């Protein structure tokens, strides 16, 4: 998201810069936020002792339903 917003901050993993820039340019900030929200929800479900397979299925289904997020 930092690359999408153009913050100019240093990358933690500069060896992946090419891939990160390509991924950042391929999507919108709103899509990145949706992905992070989905991951946060999955973590919350795991913390609430929801079965891990169900959490993974729900997360994958959310990305499949929004095909543009899983690109």
CA-to-CA distance for 27 and 16, rounded, in angstroms?
A: 17
Quote the pLDDT of residue 69.
52
41 assigned to some structural domain: yes
Q: Is residue 35 in some structural domain? A: yes
pLDDT tens-place string over residues 18-58: 999 998 898 889 888 999 999 999 999 999 999 999 999 99
What pTM was computed for the model?
0.74
| Domain of residue 16, residue span | 2-65
- Alpha-carbon gap, residue 55 to 69, rounded angstroms: 17
CA distance 33 to 40: 10
Phi, psi of 40 (to 5 degrees): -60, -45
Give me the number of domains the chain comprises.
Answer: 1
Q: What is the DSSP letter of 22?
A: H
Asked if pLDDT for residue 6 goes beyond 80, the answer is yes
């Amino acid at each position: 998201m930092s690359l999408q917003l153009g913050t100019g901050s240093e990358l933690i993993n500069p060896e992946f810069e090419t891939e990160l820039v390509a991924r950042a340019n391929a999507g919108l900030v709103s899509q990145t936020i949706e992905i992070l929200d989905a991951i946060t929800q999955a973590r919350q479900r795991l913390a609430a002792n929801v079965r891990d397979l169900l959490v993974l299925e729900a997360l994958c289904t959310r990305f499949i339903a929004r095909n543009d997020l899983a690109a």
